[in-house]
Amino acid sequence: MKKSFKNTILISIIFLCFVLLLFDTLNNAPWEVLLSWRQSDTYSIAEIYKEEGINLSKPKFFYDGAEKNIVQLELQILPALGVLISNIFKFDIIFSLRLISVLFFLGSAIFMYLTASLYMKSTFAIFSMAVYMLTPLSLFLSRAIMPESAALFFYLGGVYFIFMRFKTKKKSYAYISAIFMAFAILEKIPTAFFGLAVIFYYLKEKKLKAIKSVEFYLYGIIALLPAICYFGYTKVKSVSNQQFVSGIANKHIFSAKLGDIFNIQTLKLHFNIFMEFFGIIVVILAIFGFLFVLAEKKYRNLLPWIISMALEVLTICAIIKFEYYYIFFVPVTAMLSGIIYNEIFKRRKGKYILMSIAIAFLIIEAFMTKEKYMKVDEHLDHNINTIRMHKDADVPFGINYASPVYIDALKTEGARIGLNHFDNVPKDKTLEIEYWIDEGIKNFVLLKPWGSTEEFSKILDNYGRIIYEDENLFIYRIE
């Protein structure tokens, strides 16, 4: 039996086991114990697409207000494809969205294998792929209702094809890579950090002649122009009335100071996330693999990739402080994990046993990740069902909760009250309630004990009455 056929069979078995591991979580509601906000936002966009039709340039949220808001976001490929699959095959929309995420992730795993196989034997490339798939962060995000799986697919496609460009000297690979990177950046802007590595590769090959190279500039135009045009268009206030992408950049990234990146709290954040969402096995393998990259000339070409994505971790991840922004470093740690085995065990007996031990630990960690994070938040789910049963149907409502998960889950227009971060909303609580009532909010949900529940309750007593109360929440009707 040819080795390539054996590898195909082995990869297929790994993919099948991976899907079986995740399959019973594909119907999970978006409000899971991890990243409920991000998942419910993407889900709500899909629900609105399903109701109003797909419009990639004008995604909408149910919040904040009595009407839906057009928002500036990344290109919403996942919600669009989820709606198409749901409509064609009559699948539940949640299942469709998670299924599309898994398919994108499996595609990214193939690119992970192909990229690793450029630097190591196929056995160890498959090991790298398995590490990539079983790392806790990528395992969770592989079926999350979020754009990360799609971004990983395009990002790793871009990585693979640019490596092929400089390995084979074929320019066509550069243009394919640029197309993949264009979609990756449209999905998640931090993938643009890989562009630093691309610049280095061109300078290494062409020296200063790179600045006169048509190919060099075409790569940049193809990779960056779609994102510049899309985000520039959606930033216009006549197109979107909530600039999420620009807002995050202005409030967090451009306003950050050097001390925010290298202080003790940030270093602790990095440590905790790597321990929790990468795992001690992957971290140890990656550290030793990196030493071989420094020591062995044949791996030096990986350094620009490693450094560019390390910069993404040190800047974007350090400033925004959300674990899912670390996902684009997972392929790097997976590659480094394969390198350590490729170097130490490629000519020694027992390599399969040692790899099996590492994989066994990762599988145990995968089941622990599934048990801990891939489940619906029972408290949220209970409250959502309670509100759905007792609030007035299809009536815009306000809620004193920072996350929009309740508004997204109920598929009803609503507003988050008491946040004090809207320029057009009064900071005084009485004036804020009056503002939202004038905007068309008819019900108010006050969660216990979150936020200023007691203060809001006293104010709302003057504008309406309680129509439901339990140990977790009040529901007011404005009269």
Dig out the tokens for 315 from the structure: 């800047």
Whole-model pTM above 0.85?
yes
Mean pLDDT within 16-29: 97
Within-domain flag for 40 = no
Measured distance between the N- and C-terminal CA atoms of the chain, rounded to whole angstroms: 77
pLDDT at 248 > cutoff 60? no
Mean pLDDT of 163-187: 98
Strands 464-469 and 414-416: unpaired
Q: How confident is the model at residue 246 (pLDDT cuts 50, 70, 90)?
A: low
Structure tokens at 422: 């809207």
- On whether both 205 and 246 belong to a single domain, the answer is yes
Average pLDDT, the chain: 92
- 163 with 202, same domain: the answer is yes
Q: Summarize the confidence of residues 37-50 as an average pLDDT.
A: 98
Question: 397 and 316 in one domain?
Answer: no
Do 448 and 313 share a structural domain? Answer: no
Count the Cβ atoms, other than its own, within 10 Å of residue 291.
Answer: 13
Domain boundary residue, one of 339, 358, 373? 373
DSSP 107-125: HHHHHHHHHHHTTS-HHHH
Q: Find the mean pLDDT for residues 97-124.
A: 97
Q: Averaged over 116-130, what is the pLDDT?
A: 95
48 lies in some domain: no
Which of the four pLDDT bands, split at 50, 70 and 90, describes residue 252? very low
Of 373, 396, 427, which one is at a domain's C-terminal end?
Answer: 373
Q: What's the rounded mean pLDDT across residues 91-109?
A: 99
Taking residues 235-242, what's their average pLDDT? 64
Q: Cβ contacts of residue 422 below 8 Å, gap of 6+?
A: 64
Q: Would you say residue 51 lies in a domain?
A: no
Q: Which domain holds residue 449?
A: 378-478
Which of 350, 373, 396 is the C-terminal boundary of a domain?
373
Q: Residue 62 burial by CB count (10 A; 0-12/13-18/19+): exposed, middle or buried?
A: buried
79: Cβ contacts below 8 Å, ≥ 6 apart:
42, 43, 45, 46, 49, 54, 59, 97
Average confidence (pLDDT) over 133-143: 98
Residue 433 covered by a domain: yes
37 within a domain of the structure (yes/no) = no
Which pLDDT score, from 0 to 100, does residue 424 have?
A: 87
Residue 361 inside a domain? The answer is: yes
Per-residue CA distances from 357 to 133, 221, 364, 452 (Å): 16, 46, 11, 52
Q: What pLDDT is recorded for position 355?
A: 79
Residues 434 and 291 in one domain: no
DSSP 313: I
Q: Are residues 392 and 468 in the same domain?
A: yes
The rounded distance, in Å, linking the Cα atoms of 335 and 290 is 9
Residue 277 lies in a domain: yes
Rounded to an integer, the average pLDDT of 172-196 is 98
What are 339-393's pLDDT values in tens digits?
Answer: 998 888 766 666 677 778 888 999 999 999 999 999 999 999 999 999 999 999 9
Residue pLDDT, tens place only, 185-217: 999 999 999 999 999 999 999 888 888 899 999
Q: In which band, very low, low, confident or very high, does the pLDDT at 238 lie, cut at 50, 70 and 90?
A: low
Residues above pLDDT 70, as percent of the chain: 93
397-437 per-position pLDDT tens digit: 999 999 999 999 999 999 999 988 888 899 999 999 999 99
Q: Where are the alpha helices (DSSP H) in 296-350?
A: 303-312, 318-320, 330-345
Q: Look up tokens 């600045």; give the residue.
A: 211
Calculate the CA dihedral of residues 181, 186, 187, 193 and round it to 10 degrees: 50
Q: Are residues 166 and 226 in the same domain?
A: yes
Mean pLDDT of 159-166: 98
pLDDT score for 257: 58
Q: How many domains does the chain have?
A: 2
Residue 478 region by backbone torsions, left for phi larger than 0, else alpha for psi between -120 and 50, else beta: beta
CA atoms within 13 Å, Cβ hemisphere of 474: 21
Phi first, then psi, for residue 351 (nearest 5°) are -65, -35
- The answer to whether residues 240 and 94 belong to one domain is yes
Q: Verify that 145 and 294 share a domain, yes or no.
A: yes
Indicate whether 440 and 339 sit together in one domain. Answer: no
Same domain? 97 vs 177:
yes
60 assigned to some structural domain: no
Residue 67 token pair: 């009407």
Q: How far is CA 437 from the centre of its chain?
A: 35
Mean pLDDT of 35-61: 96
353 and 442 share one domain: no
